Amino acid sequence: MTKELKAALSFYKHSFPIEVRETESVFLQSLRYAETQKLNNYHFIAGYLNEELTSIVTAHYLADVNAGFIVYLVTNPKIRNKGLGAKSLQKIEEVLQQDSVHAGYKSLKTIVLETEIEEMVHTEKEKEDCVKRTKFFTKNGFYKVEDFLYFQPPIHDGGVDVPLHLFMKQRTKQEITNSDVKRIVKAMYVEKYYHGNGIEKGVLNTSYSKMNLEKSELFCD
């Protein structure tokens, strides 16, 4: 592990509470998995300003559905009024567009991400942060997928499914249909939560079935 990656992981560790924080092994597994893929990809990008770590953004490229899945975006709270969040989004969007072209598409179709449901937060500070995130993503071209029941599977042993909002950013003139959303969620579960996190198939099947996406299970074996 490089010095820069160690610093970035330490920054990440101190940016999220343990309940929603993934272990370092998940990032390393995702990077190793991406090296074996021809079209699917994974990115862990750290931003710097005058040699100071300013931001981290991670994302998967899902080739089958031509979509990017932003998992984490965090900025240095000590550095304000620099537009770090917007710059990080712009950078990862450029990288995911390159993945799309490499996969044989003219353009990336959409970018998806998960955000907290305001009613599920516990404190006024968390509620305030949730509202800020929603405004930030909306300002940067994302919209909330309406009337879609989504669960993030348990990312820790003994954890529970977490109801979240899906936000998307359309990058082509082609409409994102409900069928498209279902296919994207399926790809998220397989590429991120199975191959990246290593969550057991049975656990993912249980979470997947709660969303009433299709009659068959995510994994049939």
Residue-wise pLDDT for 4-23, tens only, equals 778 888 888 877 767 678 88
Q: Do residues 207 and 154 make contact, with C-beta atoms less than 8 angstroms apart?
A: yes
Q: How far apart are CA 144 and CA 187, in angstroms?
A: 19
Of 153, 169, 202, 163, which Cα lies nearest the Cα of 26? 153
Dihedral angle at the C-alpha atoms of 215, 191, 204, 217, nearest 10 degrees? 20
Say yes or no to pLDDT of 220 above 70.
no
Q: Do the bridges between strand 67-75 and strand 110-116 make them parallel or antiparallel, or are there none, so unpaired?
A: parallel
| Among the listed residues 154, 195, 158, 151, the one whose alpha carbon sits nearest the alpha carbon of residue 26 | 195
Residue type, 132: K
Model confidence over 37-90: pLDDT tens digits?
999 999 999 988 888 888 999 999 999 999 999 999 988 877 766 788 899 999
Give me the long-range contacts of 34-42 (CB less than 8 A, separation at least 24): 39/63, 39/99, 39/102, 39/103, 40/191, 41/99, 42/196
Residues 194-211 as b/e (b if ≥16 CB within 10 A, e otherwise) read bbbbebeeebbbbbbeeb
∠ CA 88-8-96, nearest 5°, is 35
Give the pLDDT confidence of 111-162 residue by residue, as tens digits. 999 998 876 666 777 777 778 888 999 999 999 999 899 999 999 888 889 8
d(Cα 3, Cα 167) in Å, to the nearest integer? 33
Task: Give the phi and the psi of residue 135 in degrees, each rounded to 5.
Answer: -65, -40
Nearest-Å Rg of the Cα atoms of the chain is: 17
Band (pLDDT 50/70/90 cuts) for residue 221 is: low
